[in-house]
Structures are given as structure tokens and as C-alpha cells.
A = this chain, B = another copy of it.
Amino acid sequence: MSAPLRSSLLSQDRFARAAWSRVAEPGDQVATRLIRSHGPVAALLLAASGAEQNVQRFLPRLEVLDVERDLEVGAKFAARVVCPGDPEWPQGLDDLSAPPYCLWIRGPVDVASSCQRSAAVVGARSATAYGEMVATDMAAGLGERRFTIISGAAFGIDAAAHRGALATGATTIAVLAGGVERPYPSSHAALIARIVEVGAVISEVAPGSAPTKTRFLQRNRMIATMGRGTVVVEAGLRSGSLNTARIAADHGRVVAAVPGPVTSMMSAGCHEAIRSGMAQLVTDAAEAAEAIGDYGSDLAPVRRGPAFAGDGLDEPAARLLSALPVRKGVPVSRLAVSSGLSASEVRSLLGRLDLSALAERHGDGWRQGPAVRKARVDGDRKRSEQGESGC
């Protein structure tokens, strides 16, 4: 064991918490009560005594416990043990009814301060190409806005989120369900290694622990509460990411969901979360930042379509404008009939439209002015860029 690690483990509490991360399953209510009542050291001795019946569930693992070995494996992978109360402990985890006993952390970033401005970006493992693209853009855009991206390194949305963050040099944190030294899924070994280099990889179970189904579910509660909010990019109706979103909502975190085609079952969970009021609809990183970020300082730009000539005109003026011909001027008497206005109203409104270049004299009559022609050209360009139909 390395000297720094040994010194960091001088505290018996720290040692006992490392033991608990092997002995008790994540989120175990009995272990949590025991530690809360007696502290981690006394709780461990009590469990080892097997005195009370409800603590006997820890005996089978206590018999094979080897904390020194777990610490050695952790040290080999340069993992540090972070405990509640440590400066690097993410305070959000204290909101959980059964927080992790400790965290095993690899990577250079300070997890607590990174979580101060952070968003979990999660979603389906069997994501669509659409979902992966949106997740990458979402994470990159949040990263550019100085958000740390928290996710689970799983297939699909998780991996896309980490990659989007890495691509923009943003901080990203992967929370694993198994030991911190064990890349899972194994085909993401390179991705997880990269996150270890520049971000943080976290687990609440001791090195060597396997990622099991129940540990995945418990892992979700960490992703949901470490940060300030959760963005669900794609989720089927029974997706684990909806479970993450629900935990986040239950703990007062902001939950946002990205819509998609109603024909895609991979968006059905997002739509249901929006319909039920659990999540708010966001379409891009700017809107997610506004939802999750600091009130007032992370406002998304207001969405506007292209401006049209005549925006803001009152009703009779708009009517006259739409009655003006494009090419050949027509006399006031004909404009009166086509706009349903009196000749004097037409004359007065033409004066106003003329001032703003929306109407101009042509021959003996009037036609649309240069401002309309310009707006039409601009509008057509903008509409064709945006696929917008107008009217």
C-alpha cells in the first residue's frame, strides 16, 4: 500500500466506511441505520458480533472481508476514498435516505466542486441515432456553458453524453455500478479510461465488486442527486433513466426531457414524463441550462421565427398592405374596394406605409414598397433555411 493512501486511511472511520462499501449493498437500509446510530466503526463491530438478528445479513460477507486487499486494488488504480464530510464529498448525496458509505474516485477533478454546476444527461441504452446525436449536442452545449456532465458510461445516451462533454473539454463524471477499477461495459474501456484521465470515475462499491442489476438501480440515485438537474434524452416507458428522473424529481432536482418523434418508442418515456408534469420539455442545451442553471443568468434566447414586413401594423393597415400589388401600381379607388376601406382611410394609411417604405407610388397608383420586397427576400431565405412555411 502506498504511503499517501495509508496516511489517508489513518482514520478508523475511513477504514470502516471502506469496509462497509464491501459488506453492505448500496442503499441497504439496515446498514444505513446502523451507521447513522453508532458511527461506521461501532456499527461494523456490532455487525461482526452477530448479536442482533437484523444485523446478521452482514455476517456472510464479513467472513470473507479483506479491506486491506480492496484498498490495495484501489491504490493500484489510483482511487481515493472520499467520505461524508470530506471537502470532496458531493453534498447532494446527503439528500438521499441511504447515501453511499463512501465513494471510490479515480481522476483529477474535484468531484464536489464540479457538481456545483452540473447536469446529469441520461437515457436509453438502445438509443436511436437521433437520440445519440441530441445527447452529444446537449452535453457539448451544457459543457460550453460550464456545466459538468454526469452520466453512467452505459451504451447509447450515456456514452454519447460523456463524448459530447469530452469533445468540448468540459468536465465529465462517470458513476459506475461496479468497482471503480472495472470498466463496464467492457467495450467502453477506452471511453472510461479517458474520463479517468481528465474527469472522474466514481463508485460506491469496493474495487472488485461486480455491477449487478440492483447496483445499477442504486447507482441511478447517485446520478440523480449529485448534480443540480437531470436531462433525459431518450427513454422507453420502462427505461432506467426514467427511474433516475423520478429520483431526481423526488429530491427536488430539476428534471428536463427532450421530445422526439411520437412514432419512436425511445421517446415515449420522455413524452410521458413531460405529460405527467415530472419533466419540463427542453429542445437544446440553452433551454436545459436555463432550466437547471442559475436563475436569471442562464436564460435561453427567446425563440422567434423570421420577421415579416408589416409585423406590428394595426388591422386596417395590414389589410391595405396585403391589398397592394407587387408590380403595377393601382389607384386608391381600387385599393379601397379590395381592402374594404374608404378612399380617405386608404390615402391616410398609404401615407403611413410610404413613410416606412412599405408602399410606394407607381404610375398613377400605388404598389408594395422596397421594405416589403426586402423582407420577402430575407424571409424566403430564412424560411428556406428553417423549413418554415409562413402563414
Contact = CB atoms under 8 A, between A and B. Distances in A.
Interface of A: 23-25, 27-29, 53, 56-61, 64, 124-128, 130, 133-134, 154, 156, 212-214, 216-217, 236-241, 258-269, 271-272, 274-275, 280-284, 287, 303-306, 308, 315-316, 318-319, 322-323, 333, 336-345, 383, 386-391
A265 B387 contact: yes
Nearest to A61: B337
Contact of A389 (B28, B57, B126, B284): B126
A341 B214 CA distance: 13
Contact of A25 (B269, B280, B319): B319
Contacts of A237: 303-305, 386, 388
Contacts of A262: 134, 258-260, 283-284
Nearest to A305: B238
25 contacts: A23-B340, A25-B319, A25-B339, A27-B315, A57-B336, A59-B343, A60-B342, A64-B337, A124-B388, A126-B389, A130-B261, A130-B263, A134-B262, A212-B322, A236-B390, A237-B304, A238-B306, A239-B390, A259-B260, A259-B271, A260-B260, A265-B388, A268-B303, A271-B281, A281-B281
Contact of A214 (B60, B238, B304, B318): B318
Contacts of A306: 238
Contacts of A61: 336-337, 340
Given A125-B391, A258-B262, A59 B342 contact: yes
Most buried by B among A237, A333, A342: A342
Contact of A213 (B58, B281, B322): B322
Given A261-B261, A262-B258, A265-B386, A213 B391 contact: yes
A243 to B, nearest CB: 8
